[in-house]
Amino acid sequence: MTAYTFQYSKRPGTPAATMPDQVPPDIVAERYNRLMELQREVSQAVNNELLGKSVEVLVSDESGDKQLSGKSRDFRLVHFPASPEIRLGDLVTVTIDQAKPFYIASSQPHLAHIKTRGGDAHAERVKESTTNGVMLGIPSLPKYSF
């Protein structure tokens, strides 16, 4: 869970900037910090509910030599161990054994792996960049029927 919040600040030329009884910046900051701490607590509690459960993840990022990241079906950030056959764009299923306020993670090998057209496209792009040295335009991909 995430709350997209910002501290209020006056914007010149807006009606709110000239309204009376403005909240002092120190009170704005204190309220914002309280809200963020509450958000962290709620997010941690919600993410703890996934401990021990399997989650399907769309692989979207290499977070280092030995770790991949992606998003679960409910858009949570998930980190998990890399494996040579997993490509960006593929789907994997992992068991969650770590929960933090802003991500969940697995330290175990993936349970399932589904190769996808997105993974095919990424593999083609990587191949093109290593073969040609310069990536120009859109890579050609095999024709797919829908």
Contact 129, 105 (CB under 8 A): no
DSSP three-state, residue 124: helix
CB atoms within 10 A of CB 96: 24
pLDDT in tens, the chain (146 residues): 677 888 888 889 999 889 999 999 999 999 999 999 999 999 999 999 999 999 999 999 987 779 999 999 999 999 999 999 999 999 999 999 999 999 999 999 999 999 999 999 888 888 877 776 665 666 566 666 65
The torsion region of residue 116 among left (phi > 0), alpha (psi -120 to 50) and beta comes to beta
Q: Quick one: pLDDT at residue 2?
A: 73
This prediction's pTM: 0.77
Tokens linked to 7: 């501290």
